[in-house]
Amino acid sequence: MSAASTPPLGGLSLLGLEPMLRAWLAEDLGRGDLSAPALAGRSARACWQAKQAGVFCGGVLVEPLFRLLDPAVVVQLRVADGERVESGQRLLELEGTAAALVAGERTALNLAMRLSGIATATAALVAELAGSGVALADTRKTTPGLRLLEKYAVRCGGGRNHRLGLDDAAMLKENHLAWAGGVGPAAAAVRAQAPWPCRLIVEAETGGEAEAAVRAGADGVLLDEFSPEDLAALVPRLRALASERGAPVMLEASGVRPEALRRYAATGIDLISTSAPVTRSAWLDLSMRFDPVLA
């Protein structure tokens, strides 16, 4: 993936990142870096290297973060977010005050390693679905405060973002259906009272619920914990119902084990959603290497 095709940050602009970056730096700096006097008045160069292969993510955060410590810092990206890297590969170069480079090192690397791990895990699952026509989507299982960045990392890995939040689409789940009295009443209430036009998605745990969701006008049906065999039989019925009503329906499977992705993709669904890249991924190991001091 080239720098020109790096996914946008979505709902989070680089300007909007500044308060978050300041807070994350403050968490590490506390009352101030006690090692700073050893570096006073010195400039330095540094580079980032990958210590293992994967998909890089987080480069867009490096310059705004270090500029909060040194407005004159120079950052040159060698790898775009979303690009695959190999162990030992040089990722970016920095030049600025030595104290600033040391002070921002841990925070910047922590963010990039976390996001790169998510992008790498996403890319592995997306590769399993290659050629199937089925997309991989994330969920709302994200770290509080990091949702937009973690979802950005999913996009860098080739995945698709589902709902950003509860205001992005109406998803009626088990509790909604139980408390509202079923699919029909719950869907009707949302359609009648939603303050703006929104997608309506219904989570179904049985074939009957799925069919009721399509009849009720759902834009999407989340088919939870169905077997591939059950989905293969159910999907044509749901497509037929959608055709009768004259509007397509997005069919999504969840609760899918990674080793079964292709079996589910063969059932005719449109989307597989999973929290695994965010909740189960390991960090990608990256390091910052310092070149000889300039002055």
Write the DSSP assignment of 83-137 as a string of letters.
Answer: -EE-TT-EEEEEEEEHHHHHHHHHHHHHHHHHHHHHHHHHHHHHHHTTTS--EEE
Based on the residue annotation, tell me whether 203 is a catalytic residue of this protein.
yes
Q: What are phi and psi of 48, to 5 degrees?
A: -100, 140
Tell me, yes or no, if 289 is annotated catalytic: no
Marked catalytic residue, from 95, 203, 211, 270 = 203
pTM of the model: 0.93
Which amino acid does the sequence have at 12? Answer: L
The string of pLDDT tens digits covering residues 247-287 is: 999 999 999 998 999 999 999 999 999 999 999 999 999 99
Q: pLDDT band for position 10 (50/70/90)?
A: low
d(CA 45, CA 98): 8
* Catalytic annotation present for 51: no
Confirm whether 173 is a catalytic residue.
yes
* C-alpha Rg value of the chain to the nearest Å: 23
pLDDT at 107 over 90: yes
For the chain, domains (ranges, CATH) are: 3-124+281-290 (3.90.1170.20), 128-279 (3.20.20.70)
CB 96 within 8 A of CB 46: no
3-state class (DSSP) for residue 183: helix
Q: Which tens digit of pLDDT belongs to each residue from 154-165?
A: 999 999 999 889
**141 assigned to active site:** yes
